[in-house]
Amino acid sequence: MIRVSKTLYDVFLSADRIVIDTGPLLIHATGAFRNDKLADICLCGDPVEEFNFLDRLFTSGQQFCITPYILSELLYRARSEFKLKEEGIEEFFHSYGMFLSKIGEIRIDKEKIIHDAGIKFGLADVSLLKAYEETDAVILSSDEPFCRFCEWRNIEFIEYKTFFFNRFFV
């Protein structure tokens, strides 16, 4: 039997829902909130095009979701990257909160995360794995070691940089 491998575009189009890891979400949040910092956050060398790609991707009609653990990690990373104080956090959520409210949420019971063998990866990554297990959500991530782990475990994922360089939404 011949195994036909799906392209990332096929995976994207066939996904019922896609759960977003912190990396791509942070790039998008940076472009929306502090585009002067975009060059510091982007992974692919063309900050404006990278933000525009993610913006088109997230408004493409696919169902995108995050977990509460990803939201928490986004807050931590935004606070750190933008050096935000309390009022800056409020400004960030007033600015970017509208987008976050429009995407879905996959809730993962904390007991499932605490007792997962993969806890060494961290709460956010385990929440992505659980989202896949419980809802068949495809994972969109820029974390290369995490993507290799997903590939090794036959977990359906889209590796962000490869997807960007193929530029399906230009």
Residue 168 has a pLDDT of: 54
Find the mean pLDDT for residues 85-96.
88
CATH among 3.30.420.10, 3.10.310.30, 3.30.1330.10, 3.40.50.1010 for 8-165: 3.40.50.1010
pLDDT band at 5 (very low <50, low <70, confident <90, very high): low
Other beta carbons within 10 Å of 7 = 12
> Does 116 have pLDDT greater than 90?
no
In this predicted structure, what is the pLDDT of residue 9? Answer: 77
What percentage of residues in the chain have a pLDDT greater than 90?
A: 59
pLDDT band of 27, cuts 50, 70, 90:
very high
The residue-averaged pLDDT of 153-161 equals 92
- Tell me the pTM: 0.89
When mean pLDDT is compared across 10-19, 55-64, 135-144, the lowest value belongs to: 10-19
Is the pLDDT reported for residue 61 higher than 70?
yes
Return the number of other C-beta atoms located less than 10 Å from residue 100's C-beta: 14
3-state secondary structure of 34: coil
Nearest-angstrom CA–CA distance, 109 and 113: 7
Q: Per-domain residue ranges for the chain?
A: 8-165
Chain-centroid distance of CA 36 in Å reads 21
Q: What pLDDT score was predicted for residue 85?
A: 86
pLDDT single digits (tens) 32-52: 999 899 999 998 888 999 999
Distance CA 152, CA 83 (A): 36
